[in-house]
Amino acid sequence: MDRAHAEALDADDPLRAFRDLFDLPDGIIYLDGNSLGPIPKATRGRMDDVLAREWGHDLITSWNKAGWIDAPQRVGDKIARLIGAAPGEVAVADSTSVNLFKLAAGALPLRPGRRKIVTEAGNFHTDVYVLEGLAALVGATLEVLPRDQVLGAVDDETALLVLTHVHYATAEAWDMAAVTAAAHARGALVLWDLSHTVGAAGCDLNRADADLAVGCGYKHLNGGPGAPAFLFVAERHQAAIRPPLSGWMGHAAPFAFEPRYRPAPDIRAQLCGTPPILGIAALECGVDIHLRAPAGAVAAKGRSLCELFTRLVEARCGGLGLTLVGPRDMARRGLHVAFAHPDGYALVQALIARGVIGDFRDPDICRFGFTPLFLSHAEVWDAVEILRDVLETRAFERPEFRVRATVT
């Protein structure tokens, strides 16, 4: 295998033109779009317009005139198309952590008499922390179990199973339809965290008969740092699920100023306070790019990039201390690849110094994201050559690469 092989794969890439839709600095290979997606070029113009015209000139009239008030559902409907949901099942709101709390808390009363929540040990920590807080608040039991014990723990006491579809570190993906069916057979609901799924390997929530889901806007959706998140409530649950954060934006008639709370009969019930219009405007630019990509092409190219990276690292960096973490089978994974290395933190810093930006996850994981809309197979080749050089020369042993930053 040589660089020409990678270039040949790029020549056949149906997503080749998408790279030009993003602003990426010269001289870097960005393998961290799974953590913070790069800025779409369209976002600058759109933000200028929101700031100057909608906010600056039209002021408060923009709530109606520019459709600000409907933005959470409008962008939610667009995201729905990326995750196999129907119009009216997704809204943009809050952060992933807050949405997880809202939906988990709302789900428990849907299974009266059941007080158990099950999740995976090693799930992204915010998910576990939020569930711990919720369990303490409402007197539920939380079981945090190793991956291979999770399904077996779902029993007739279990109200809710909470899983991250694509694992944040290993990229291992659950079989959403099979897990959902197994949980339903035991009478439990399932809440999926799609943070590493949306805009990447994707999913089909309604085909999987999913109940509830949440996910991030700032990763593969390119919504910008701290972008608002989204939530999904299957249509069949919307009338029954009561929002625990009963804010005025979730009221059936927010501007009627009724003295008591009355939830909206649809996904709007999951909104709480005033929507973050600037954040939603930026997120919409990222989502719009994804909607232009041919169906299936993003996942297919992502798998091709991940497969090439994995094969090249094993072929060209063999014996240099890297161990693949997570499944080799591309059908069972999302679009980042993790290799453990005893000096993982320093290795990632040394790579960043050479222009290859990935990230590090404790205790020893070097994580590389393969975002199909802007990466090429040739860049994968180049990244592996730099990785090989950094490992062979042991450049990562330089003391400056060991200094821990606040954000890793």
Q: How far is the CB of 96 from ligand PLP (least distance, A)?
A: 3
| CA 165, 168, 173, 178 torsion-angle sign | negative
Q: How far is the CB of 167 from ligand PLP (least distance, A)?
A: 8
Q: Which of 69, 84, 95, 248 binds ligand PLP (CB under 6 A)?
A: 95
Query: Taking CB under 6 A as the rule, does residue 73 contact ligand PLP?
Result: no
Whether the bond between 87 and the residue before it is cis, its omega within 30 degrees of 0, is: no
Give yes or no: 78 in active site. Answer: no
Parallel, antiparallel or unpaired: strands 29-30 and 141-145: unpaired
- Of 191 and 317, the one with the shorter C-beta distance to ligand PLP is 191
Query: Taking CB under 6 A as the rule, does residue 68 contact ligand PLP?
Result: no
> For the chain, what percentages of helix, strand and coil (3-state, to nearest 5) are there?
45, 15, 40
Q: How far is the CB of 348 from ligand PLP (least distance, A)?
A: 16
Query: Taking CB under 6 A as the rule, does residue 96 contact ligand PLP?
Result: yes
| Region near ligand PLP per CB under 6 A, out of 4-12, 36-44, 90-98, 199-207 | 90-98
Neighbours of 352 (CB within 10 A): 16
Q: Which long-range contacts (CB under 8 A, 24 or more apart) does 399-405 make?
A: 400/349, 401/345, 401/346, 401/347, 401/349, 401/350, 401/353, 402/345, 402/346, 402/349, 404/345
- Of 32 and 54, the one with the shorter C-beta distance to ligand PLP is 32
- Of 203 and 395, the one with the shorter C-beta distance to ligand PLP is 203
Site for ligand PLP in 103-132 (CB under 6 A): 124, 126-127
Residues that contact ligand PLP, how many (by CB under 6 A):
13
Gap between the Cα atoms of 328 and 392, Å rounded:
24
Catalytic residue (one of 102, 114, 116, 219)? 219
Site for ligand PLP in 216-275 (CB under 6 A): 216, 229
Continuous segment of H or E residues that includes residue 337: strand 336-340
Residue 15, token pair as written in the block:
């997503």
Neighbours of 231 (CB within 10 A): 29
Gap between the Cα atoms of 3 and 1, Å rounded:
7
Query: Taking CB under 6 A as the rule, does residue 97 contact ligand PLP?
Result: yes
Catalytic residue (one of 13, 32, 77, 193)? 193
Give yes or no: 218 in active site. Answer: yes
Residue 35, token pair as written in the block:
């953590």
- Of 200 and 234, the one with the shorter C-beta distance to ligand PLP is 200
Q: How far apart are the first and last CA of the chain?
A: 33
| CA 129, 133, 135, 141 torsion-angle sign | positive
Give yes or no: 124 in active site. Answer: yes
Q: How far is the CB of 179 from ligand PLP (least distance, A)?
A: 16
- Of 124 and 309, the one with the shorter C-beta distance to ligand PLP is 124
Parallel, antiparallel or unpaired: strands 39-40 and 29-30: unpaired
Site for ligand PLP in 161-220 (CB under 6 A): 164, 168, 193, 195-196, 216
Q: How far is the CB of 126 from ligand PLP (least distance, A)?
A: 5
- Of 63 and 218, the one with the shorter C-beta distance to ligand PLP is 218
Query: Taking CB under 6 A as the rule, does residue 337 contact ligand PLP?
Result: no
**Catalytic residue numbers?**
124, 193, 218-219, 367
Report the interface residues with ligand PLP, using CB under 6 A. Answer: 95-97, 124, 126-127, 164, 168, 193, 195-196, 216, 229
